[in-house]
Amino acid sequence: MGKSKLLFITHEMSPFLELTKIAEITRQLPQAMQEKGYEIRILMPRFGNINERRNRLHEVIRLSGMNIIINDNDNPLIIKVASIPAARMQVYFLDNEEYFQRKHVFADKDGKFYADNDERTIFFCKGALETVKKLGWAPDVIHCHGWMSALVPAYLKTTYKDDPTFKNSKVVYSIYENEFTEKMDADFARKAVMGDMTEAHTEVYKEGTNSAMYAGAIQYSDGIVLASENINADVLNNVKNSNKSVLDYVSTADYENYYNFYDEITSDELVHVA
């Protein structure tokens, strides 16, 4: 038996982009799990304010060149990589000039939520899974962090459920405090449909709020991590009513809990009704 494979999908990670508590967790948790024996891969967007020279990003030609279709439009996907020498970990960055080459992350200089954040999210989630397929690396556990990765569980349990790369993968989603108060484009749920999915599969995301993003991720995940102390009450109720395996919030960075949780998730034969 080789090492168990653990994939992290996040929209931020220290030292590349530090917006919220997510950046700290997604920096420390992968290293802690690597030290426990997991083989690690990390994927995140290459936002325009991530300095390529300082962080020594370089393009991975063999992975680049794919197109991600959104709303019948082809969007080129460029993959770059950087290393964290102290941890011997590689981070793969998903880049697209139209969606990510901006000075700001989720809102413009005046604080206005980008109108295309819905398409940026779809691009990232589809692109992340296609990148892993192209890597030829089948993860045992996929752990998603942040609202921008919230479509990944839905795609894994529908379009990719029989894909050889993902058919045995378990998906874990971390819930944090609500990160935005705006709404996605009204057409978000329709645009998010891919493959043989229908709008019924994305109905749960339709409101386009932060809580709706979490609701969709909860519905399609195998396990839920409560990663913040102050989680929206409706989201907490949703978690409690989901009958999913849950890792409760702990105030200290006790990553042993995560290790045990991954073990629980991968050893359980869980049944999903989407």
Q: Residue 42's pLDDT is what?
A: 97
- pLDDT 10s digits, 236-262: 999 999 999 999 998 777 899 999 999
- pLDDT 10s digits, 118-145: 999 999 999 999 999 999 999 999 999 9
Q: Residue 39: beta bridge partners?
A: 5
Q: Is the pLDDT of residue 1 over 60?
A: no
- pLDDT 10s digits, 162-197: 999 999 999 999 999 988 999 999 999 999 999 889
Q: Which amino acid is at 204?
A: V
Measured CA to CA, the distance from residue 103 to residue 193 in angstroms comes to: 29
pLDDT, average across residues 257-273: 76
- pLDDT 10s digits, 7-29: 999 999 999 999 999 999 999 99
Q: Are 173 and 146 in contact (CB under 8 A)?
A: no
CB half-sphere exposure, 69, CA atoms < 13 A: 4
Report residue 238 as tokens. 């949703």
Within 8 A by CB and 6+ apart from 74, the residues are 67, 68
Measured CA to CA, the distance from residue 221 to residue 121 in angstroms comes to: 18
Which stretch of DSSP H or E encloses residue 175? strand 170-175
Q: Residue 268's pLDDT is what?
A: 59
User: What Å distances lie between residue 67 and 46, 126, 237, 255, CA to CA?
Assistant: 16, 10, 38, 37
Within 8 A by CB and 6+ apart from 141, the residues are 4, 5, 6, 7, 169, 170, 171, 172, 262, 265, 266
Place of tokens 């060149």: 65
Q: Kindly indicate the confidence band of residue 2, based on its pLDDT and cuts at 50, 70 and 90.
A: low
Q: Are 262 and 141 in contact (CB under 8 A)?
A: yes
Q: Residue 250's pLDDT is what?
A: 85
Please spell the DSSP secondary structure of 21-74, one letter per residue: HHHHHHHHHHHHHHHTT-EEEEEEE--TTS-HHHHT-EE-TTT--EEEEETTEE
- pLDDT 10s digits, 206-230: 999 999 999 999 999 999 999 999 9
Measured CA to CA, the distance from residue 28 to residue 13 in angstroms comes to: 9
